[in-house]
Amino acid sequence: MTTAAHPGKRATTRETILDHAYELARRDGLEGLSIGGLASDVGMSKSGVFAHFGSREDLQLAVLDTGRRRFVTRVLLPALRQPRGLPRLRAIVANWFEWGRDHQSGCVLLSAASEYDGRDGALHDGVVRQQSGWRDELQKAIAQAVELGHLRSDTDVALLAFEIYALMLGLHHDAGLFGFDEAGRCTTAAFERLWRSWQT
């Protein structure tokens, strides 16, 4: 659905557009993304950009999926090369932390979550699907750490996933408002306390 039409080696125009759209959406959110503004940013005509997606909503969905793919590539996939259990879980958190450092000026996935959580439509469904999918991955990694004895056997998997996610929300929130340095310090300290409280 989101793959390029042609497997050519050079970047397709659609990918170039999505690169720019992703950056614009980081600042203004998916709702703040306009086709006219995107077109002038890319250096194309409005209709030329529009033709690649067919509707604004499809453009927003494509940008959302771009964010999801980048997040998976940067955060999840590298961690999967770590051994199962706590090492992999901590790698996920470490990669996520670095993702937060690179996304101080806004994360499309998080802003989309707060933009569409109260509405309905394709964007809402896409956000929910993406967020619950990521939560599942998180819980899977936690469950493996429990099975391997790296975390206490009475660990509440859903609760720990919630706590991890909450700390990352705190990181993004504080980094955006007060700067990454202090936010990162608190987040790191909070994670140390979190690991200690669940570790065997």
Partner DNA sequence: TCAAAAATAGCACGATCGTTCGTGCGTTTC
Partner DNA sequence: GAAACGCACGAACGATCGTGCTATTTTTGA
The answer to whether the beta carbons of residues 180 and 101 sit under 8 Å apart is yes
Residues 2, 15, 27, 45: which binds DNA (CB under 7 A)? 45
Instruction: Identify what 46 binds: DNA, a second copy, none; CB under 5 to 8 Å per kind.
Output: DNA
Closer to a second copy by Cβ: residue 12 or 65: 65
Closer to a second copy by Cβ: residue 72 or 186: 186
Closer to DNA by Cβ: residue 38 or 171: 38
Instruction: Identify what 48 binds: DNA, a second copy, none; CB under 5 to 8 Å per kind.
Output: DNA
Q: Annotate 68-89 with b (16+ C-beta within 10 A) or e (fewer).
A: beebeebbbeebeebeebbebb
Q: Considering the rule CB under 7 A, would residue 104 count as an interface residue with DNA?
A: no
Q: Considering the rule CB under 7 A, would residue 122 count as an interface residue with DNA?
A: no
84-89's contacts with Cβ under 8 Å and 24+ in sequence apart are 84/144, 84/145, 84/148, 85/144, 85/145, 85/147, 85/148, 85/150, 86/145, 86/148, 86/150, 86/151, 86/195, 86/199, 88/141, 88/144, 88/145, 89/141, 89/142, 89/144, 89/145, 89/150
Closer to DNA by Cβ: residue 40 or 155: 40
Contact set for DNA, span 47-66 (CB under 7 A) = 47-52, 54-57
Residues 1, 5, 81, 121: which binds DNA (CB under 7 A)? 5
Q: Considering the rule CB under 7 A, would residue 94 count as an interface residue with DNA?
A: no
Instruction: Identify what 159 binds: DNA, a second copy, none; CB under 5 to 8 Å per kind.
Output: a second copy
DSSP SS3 for 151 = strand
Write the single-letter amino acid at 93: V
Please list, in sequence order, all residues whose beta carbon lies within 8 angstroms of the beta carbon of residue 137, skipping any fewer than 6 positions away. 76
Q: Considering the rule CB under 7 A, would residue 2 count as an interface residue with DNA?
A: no
Structure tokens at 191: 């994670």
Instruction: Identify what 13 binds: DNA, a second copy, none; CB under 5 to 8 Å per kind.
Output: DNA
Residues at the site binding DNA, with contacts judged by CB under 7 A: 5-6, 8, 13, 33-37, 39, 43-52, 54-57
